[in-house]
Amino acid sequence: MKVNFNNLPAVSRANRSIGAILMDAGLLSPEDAERILLLQKEKNLRFGDAAIALGILTEADIQFALSRQFSYPYLRAVDQKKPVSTELVAAYQPFSPCVDQLRAIRSQLMMRWFDKLEQRQVLAVVGTARGEGRSYLAANLAVVFSQLGERTLLIDADLRHPRQHEMFRLDNSAGLSTVLSERSRDEAIVRITDLVGLFVLPAGPTPPNPLELLSRPLFDDFMSRMRSTFDVVILDTSSLSEGEDGAMVAIRAGAAVAVAQATQTRVSDFNDLVQGLMNAGVSVVGSVLNEVVTDNKSTG
C-alpha cells in the first residue's frame, strides 16, 4: 500500500467492543457471540470471562482483542497466512521475555536520544560484520516504537544485502536506491497496515555505487523531510566489513546504536567501530549484545 504523507492520521485508540474486534478478525461467529452475551448477562461476567468459560475463545484471543482496543497492535502467530516474517517477534510475541528486552532498549533510547522538539528522531543501527543481527534489531525496534504510538519509519539503508523487504514481505522494485537516484519519490514508502503507525522504505534494487548514492546531498534532503513527518526514523545499515556505507548513514543520522554478536564479533573491531563513529561526531547512544547464533547470510 503506497502512502500519501499530506494527511497522516495520528494513531488513535480503537473504540470497538472486544466482540466486534474478534468477529472482524474471523475469530468469532455471530452465533457464538450471542451465546457469550447470554452467559455474560446471566452470570454478570465480563465478555472475555464468559467466552473463556464457554470454551469459545482463549486467553490469547482476548489479549489480541484488548491490544486492538488500546492501540497496541500485534499479529497472531497461529494465522495461516502470516503478513510478515516470524523474525518480527515484537509483532507476534509481544508479551515474551525477548520483546520485554526490546521494550527495555526502546525505553533507554527514548531517554538517551529520541526527542522530536530537539529534532533527534533518527537513529542508525550499525555493526562490524554480517550475521550480528542488525536487520533483526532494526525491524523489531521499529515495531515496538510503533506500538508505543509513535509514527515510525524503518529505512533499509543496507544497499548491499538488504533484508527488510523480505522480513516485511514487500516488493523491492522501488526503495531508497531509487529515491536517491531520483527514479522515485516518497511514494516508495510502504505503510504496514497490520501494524498501526509503522512505515517501511525498502532498499530498492541493489546499485553498483551504494556509497556514492548515500553520500549525495539528496539523502540529506530526504532525511529532512522524514524528520518533519515521523516521530521515529530507524535506519538499517550494511556492515563495516563491507565498506563505509554504514558509517556514512550513521553520520547522516547523527546517532547510532551498535550491535555485536556474542560468539562472532571481535572486541577490537567493535571498539574501532564505536570510536570511529564518535570521532566522526556520531552520538553512539548504546550497544546491544545479541546472544542468538544467526545465519550471517540471512540476518544482516
The tens place of each residue's pLDDT in the chain, 300 residues long, gives 344 434 444 434 445 677 777 787 677 888 888 888 888 888 888 888 888 888 888 777 777 776 666 556 666 655 556 788 889 999 888 888 999 999 999 999 998 898 888 888 999 999 999 989 999 999 999 999 998 889 999 999 999 999 999 999 999 999 999 999 999 988 999 999 888 789 999 999 999 999 999 999 999 999 999 999 999 999 999 998 898 999 999 999 999 999 999 888 999 999 999 999 999 999 999 999 887 544 444 455
The DSSP code sequence of the chain is: -B---TTPPPP----S-HHHHHHHTTS--HHHHHHHHHHHHHHT--HHHHHHHTTSS-HHHHHHHHHHHTT-----TT-SS-SS-TT-HHHH-TTSHHHHHHHHHHHHHHHHT-BGGGTB-EEEEEESSTTSSHHHHHHHHHHHHHHTT--EEEEE--SSS--HHHHTT---SSSHHHHHTTS--GGG-EE-TTSTTEEEE---SPPS-HHHHHTSHHHHHHHHHHHHH-SEEEEE---GGG-SHHHHHHHHHSEEEEEEETTT--HHHHHHHHHHHHHTT-EEEEEEEE-S---TTT--
The CATH classification number of 89-290 equals: 3.40.50.300
pTM of this structure: 0.77
